[in-house]
Amino acid sequence: MVRILTILFILTLSIESKTFTFNEVHKMPLSVAKDYYIWRFLTQKSTNIIEAKTIITEASKLNKKLRVSYKAKTGRYPPKLAKRKREITPFNPNWRNRGKAHKSFYRGIALMKKNQPSKAYPYFSNAYNKYFKRYDKDKSLFWLYLSTKNTKYLKELTKSYHINIYTMVACDTLHTSYPYTITQSIRKSKTYGFDITDAIDWAKLKTRVNRGYDLDNLADDYCSQECIGVYTYIKARACKYRKSYFPMPYRSLMKYMPKQRQALIYAIARQETRFIPASISPSFALGMMQFMPFLVKHVSKKKGDHIDLDDMFNPYKAIEYADYHLDYLEKYLKHPLFIAYAYNGGIGFTRRFLKNKKHFKNAKYEPYLTMESMKNKEAKEYGKKVLANYVIYMNKLGIKIKMLPLINKIVYSNSIGRF
């Protein structure tokens, strides 16, 4: 039944979508964007089996959508891809240390669940010493504080340049200001010669960024209101994320929404794509708000809107669809953390997680212990990062809120949701 539904979706997609020629897709540079257009090409009725067998060899990676669409077209599983030449980068021993740090950190969490903070302490300390990313170090510092109640760890957190829930809770506890954030006002309206809605244009530019061009000078080429996402993305890469950019684009549309909704959309967009309109994920989530194709189809049907999937690269359309989807999620969920979980992992996953009576109970080390215990690692970190973004954007929009009271609300049953 699942296979039949998948094929029906593919056929429906091809009927409603614009079409591409073999040469159009063939000329695209190797990238996730090309993989997406190969998938689009395979789902077309006009594509023949010979074209399908040729174009599949040009993919950079075969995901489930490519495998399913290729089999639906040819009746066979796709062949193994030839090994691609990759740019050689020096081995970074920090990545090996990060794996060891993770083991120490979660061993510490396991001991905190058993209410053995003194035994957990050395594991958190070891994790802190081995981690190299600032976010991971801040997380370890926070748990060093929870396991010892020594405020020296909070004081160290307040000196961090990184915006996250741990530094923000530390600042709230010690009554200090949050780390500095940058929201620039840019006069220039457009960057000529670059189409923000063209996924291939973005793929080409991202290749230049990844190859280590002079990033500050490169960023200046895209310093315009239209390209604010591209500009701040490159600037953040240039400073190795030591500066926190929080742009607030598309005010002509956003200003008509309630400020809580504005903050939530900004928070999600920053975490999903850093406001890059033509972003495509390896699983083909599309646009600034990273809508999966099935969700685009579902929302467009509900809205009576006839669109092509590429229309999600228009940031205004992406915001419109995200706003509609958030209306649905907020029927069931109240707290921005839980809305973020659902946006990333789905409403079903979030429902099951929240209905577990062991989660978010009013007990020692909560809600932090439950937040670290989520098995879905992507949703776990995603939710925390969106929550930090949300608080920053609420304050930038003129609503003064703090992270600590928002975190404390999580353990109250009336903030969980209605299922």
Residues 144-171: pLDDT tens digits?
Answer: 999 999 999 999 999 999 999 999 999 9
- Vertex 304: Cα angle to 303 and 307 (nearest 5): 95
Helix (H) or strand (E) holding 182: strand 181-182
Contact indicator for 298, 272 with CB cutoff of 8 Å: no
Query: What's the helix, strand, coil split of the chain in %, to 5?
Result: 60, 0, 35
In this structure, what token pair is assigned to residue 226?
């239209």
Contact indicator for 157, 170 with CB cutoff of 8 Å: yes
- The per-residue pLDDT for 9 is 43
- The per-residue pLDDT for 361 is 85
Question: For residue 83, which amino acid is it?
Answer: K
CB burial readout 48-66, b (16+ within 10 A) else e? eeebbeebbeebeebbebb
Contact indicator for 215, 237 with CB cutoff of 8 Å: yes
- The per-residue pLDDT for 117 is 98
Q: Is the peptide bond before 367 cis (omega within 30 degrees of 0)?
A: yes
Q: DSSP assignment of 208-264, as one string?
A: HHHTT--HHHHHHTT-SSTTHHHHHHHHHHHTTT-SEE-----HHHHTTS-HHHHHH
Residue 82 CA to residue 233 CA, distance in Å, equals: 32
Residue 290 CA to residue 318 CA, distance in Å, equals: 8
Residue 274 CA to residue 384 CA, distance in Å, equals: 16
Q: What is the DSSP letter of 409?
A: G
In this structure, what token pair is assigned to residue 69?
């669409």
Backbone angles phi, psi at 189, to 5 degrees: -85, -40
Q: Which residue has the tokens 């006069």?
A: 187
- The per-residue pLDDT for 278 is 98
- The per-residue pLDDT for 13 is 44
pLDDT tens, position by position, 67-89? 999 999 999 999 999 887 655 45
Positions of the chain with pLDDT lower than 50, given as ranges: 1-15, 88, 419
Contact indicator for 266, 223 with CB cutoff of 8 Å: no
CA dihedral 278, 284, 285, 287 (to 10 degrees): 10
Q: Which residue has the tokens 């109970």?
A: 361
